[in-house]
Structure 1
């Protein structure tokens, strides 16, 4: 039984330590095939889903890390990250960003700043996907042309908990925090904590300034 345990542990260690090297190479290939511009030190643990239209734009900064499988996303759901950019939409991810099993559907513009952390199974949508009028939804062309869209912007140093939904037109201010399982329907000012469905203000975050004596 102990031998089987060692074999099992070796299997896990391979997937945690060695497999990401090859998964990162393959992800870089997927980026190239989709015209994605990416920076230094990209790390992909598992393989993401990527689909960028010929007229779309997807840019990733330095030190981007994403968790895409059960070996690196142990918060209860085992999904890959998904990035879909349609038509001439623009998706931009800054430097030092990390995410797990995150889905970003970009139909107009999604911008994520530097030093942003996005928890497992969070979704970010800049579109309603369908028209709000029933008559429009009976015809695919009418439905598509009458679907509301609005840019999403997530500023620097934001922390978004797991299982959140960020909807169209939302701006999340610098250093703010979104609690797990929140549905964000309106913009969040800087240095605030919001949570709930729909997300609401919880409290302010104090700005801390440290003085260092030399």
Structure 2
């Protein structure tokens, strides 16, 4: 092996070790539960007043080096006091945002492409006259991304949506209703295209 390759391998190993160290403290601070510490490229932004649980072999990209697709280069996990995020085994996430006031459940083997946003809530009232008074309860409803589903880059998944097992969501889609197992959907709003 030539010297350049050795130096490169040492730098990559150093980045991985640094990634574990700079994510370990926030994971402990926010009491993130995990079956095995996830493989993280970059630094995950966590703001969790509720619960976040990760399974085994979760991979998270959270920097500009891990995805050159031009989306916000960070993975964000946010829960309110009543919110829960569950990320099962072998899930891959790339610079995505998950915001839970109720529950977001990402099942085994699912993939969230670069810049995906999953919101289980409206953040605020939809009507201008009601926005000035911050409501005690913001409408929220569980979001589920099924086993081995793939959500393409830049897609937005909104509250109450259940994406089925092995389903595919095309890049840039806005998913507002349930997607059955083994179907391909895309668009704004996302619509059925074909069976997988």
Distance 1:146-1:88 versus aligned 2 partners, 3 A rule: closer
- Secondary structure at the counterpart of residue 19 of structure 2: helix
Higher strand share: 2
Q: Distance in 1 between matches of 2:29 and 2:95?
A: 21
Q: 1:74 deviation in Å?
A: 1.8
1:186 aligns with 2:177: yes
- Secondary structure at the counterpart of residue 95 of structure 1: coil
Tell me if the contact between 1:68 and 1:78 (Cα under 8 Å) persists in the aligned partners. no
Q: 1:135 deviation in Å?
A: 2.3
Q: Rg larger in 1 or in 2?
A: 1
Q: 1:109 aligns with which of 95, 103, 109?
A: 103
Q: 1:163 aligns with which of 146, 151, 154?
A: 154
TM-score computed with the length of structure 1 as normaliser: 0.84
Point out the more displaced range, 192-201 or 29-38: 29-38
TM-score computed with the length of structure 2 as normaliser: 0.91
Distance 1:136-1:110 versus aligned 2 partners, 3 A rule: same
Distance 1:72-1:33 versus aligned 2 partners, 3 A rule: same
Q: 1:41 deviation in Å?
A: 5.1
Distance 1:69-1:12 versus aligned 2 partners, 3 A rule: farther
Q: 1:112 deviation in Å?
A: 0.6
Q: 1:194 deviation in Å?
A: 0.2
Q: 1:173 aligns with which of 150, 161, 164?
A: 164
Q: 2:129 aligns with which of 120, 129, 135?
A: 135
Q: Distance in 2 between matches of 1:16 and 1:70?
A: 15
Q: Distance in 2 between matches of 1:179 and 1:93?
A: 21
Q: Distance in 2 between matches of 1:146 and 1:30?
A: 28
Tell me if the contact between 1:15 and 1:71 (Cα under 8 Å) persists in the aligned partners. no
In structure 2, list runs of 5 or more residues that go unmatched: none
- State the partner residue of 1:26: 22
In structure 1, list runs of 5 or more residues that go unmatched: 1-8, 206-214
- State the partner residue of 1:211: none
Please give the root-mean-square deviation of Cα atoms over the aligned residues, in Å: 2.0
Q: 2:60 aligns with which of 58, 66, 72?
A: 66
